[in-house]
Amino acid sequence: MKTFLALSALAALFQSVSCLNGGVYHIKSSIMNNVLADQSDQGPLGFFDSIDVPSQNWVFTPIEEGSNDFKIQSGLGQYINCGNVEDKVCYPGKAEEGPYRVELVGDNKYAIKRTDLGLSLDALGEILVISQYEGHKSQQFELIPVQWYTIPTIVLCKREKR
């Protein structure tokens, strides 16, 4: 029994360090009930009501198997671009920044940190910024798995007359 309890505690500790799998997630702010959305050409990355559209889906791709470092890309194909300066507003962009380390910091709450800069994503009001990690609630995010459905499409082509 003691061995079982010790192994259970060890498994729980390991899970708290590396429990996120690659996949598609909504990034929900801990300070409001909104999710991060890529509005592309309409301004900075911001938090909006969840309406389950591709712009609110974020693909987390592990850098290597078993790693907590991820590439993060929106369902529209854009990356989170915050630059290299603290307290900078984040925008969607084609350039890949990061990688981002995802760390469990509470009950299904994660900090998302740029490993190359030591800075963290932060919900400042309704926009996303990058700042020093201080453990504030605004720097904690709930990652909600998204189920992707493939919808068959038909491509209609106009035939050219010869």
Find the CATH number of the domain harbouring 138. Answer: 2.80.10.50
Q: Tell which wins on pLDDT, 161 or 97.
A: 97
- Number of domains the chain is built from: 1
Query: Residue 65's pLDDT is what?
Result: 86
Q: Tell which wins on pLDDT, 63 or 17.
A: 63
Look at residue 149 and tell me if it is in a domain: no
- Find the distance separating the first CA and the last CA of the chain, reported in whole Å: 81
Look at residue 3 and tell me if it is in a domain: no
Strands (E), the chain: 23-29, 35-37, 46-48, 58-62, 69-74, 79-81, 88-89, 91-93, 100-106, 109-114, 119-124, 127-132, 141-145
Query: Residue 73's pLDDT is what?
Result: 96
The string of pLDDT tens digits covering residues 117-145 is 999 999 999 999 999 999 999 999 999 99
Q: How far is CA 17 from the centre of its chain?
A: 17
Look at residue 104 and tell me if it is in a domain: yes
The string of pLDDT tens digits covering residues 45-76 is 999 999 989 999 999 999 998 889 999 999 99
Look at residue 1 and tell me if it is in a domain: no
Work out the average pLDDT over 22-36. 95
Look at residue 28 and tell me if it is in a domain: yes
Query: Residue 90's pLDDT is what?
Result: 96
Look at residue 11 and tell me if it is in a domain: no
pLDDT-based confidence at residue 5 (cuts at 50, 70, 90): very low
Q: Tell which wins on pLDDT, 67 or 88.
A: 88
Look at residue 35 and tell me if it is in a domain: yes
Q: Determine the Cα–Cα distance for residues 33 and 50; give it in Å rounded to an integer.
A: 8
The string of pLDDT tens digits covering residues 93-108 is 999 998 999 999 999 9
Query: Residue 41's pLDDT is what?
Result: 75
Domain coverage including residue 55: 22-144
What mean pLDDT value characterizes the chain? 84
Query: Residue 161's pLDDT is what?
Result: 54
Contacting residues for 80 by C-beta, under 8 A, at least 6 apart: 45, 72, 74, 90, 92, 97, 98, 100, 121, 128
Look at residue 157 and tell me if it is in a domain: no
